Amino acid sequence: MGHWIYEDKHVYTIEEISQDTGETTVSGRQIGEDMKTQADWSSESVYIDLRRKRLTYVYSCDVYRTNHQQNGIGVFKLVKSSNKLPPNILDGYAVDMIDGDKDPNTEHKVSDEIIGTEEALSKAREIFNA
């Protein structure tokens, strides 16, 4: 779950990182305060640098308010909330190639399993006090 403020409104991201097929994939969506999906994306290529603790991926994104697909790159640090646990926070940004603006985002792992939108948003509101 991720969160940031855009034009004084809460924006959330729900993202799934999977390694089920032997390769890493990233897919997700952006949800507004009105609980409507504003965009969705999937990775084209994913690289995890464990030494530098960094996740980088190239994505294709459909932003619902536009008539074209956007492509970009996500760059995130893998952060541990405790030295005794594996990384469970992604802190970084995504940048669409169409405008070059970095969209900052901090994401927290909330489950090892896929969960529903309502549960995910409830957990996000708790984590981010939103």
**Pair 99, 68: CB distance under 8 Å:** no
Task: Give the DSSP letter of residue 129.
Answer: T
Q: For position 5, what pLDDT does the model report?
A: 85
Task: Give the DSSP letter of residue 110.
Answer: -
Alpha carbon distance 78, 70 (integer Å): 25
pLDDT exceeds cutoff 80 at 57: yes
Alpha carbon distance 120, 130 (integer Å): 13
Q: Which residues contact 50 (CB under 8 A, 6 or more apart)?
A: 78
Alpha carbon distance 103, 122 (integer Å): 22
User: What are the extents of the domains in the chain?
Assistant: 2-128
pLDDT exceeds cutoff 80 at 130: no
List the Cα angle 8/11/13 in 5-degree steps.
165
The pTM score is: 0.87
Reported as a pLDDT band with limits 50, 70 and 90, residue 66 is confident
> Residue 5: which H helix or E strand, with range?
strand 2-6
> Residue 75: which H helix or E strand, with range?
strand 69-79
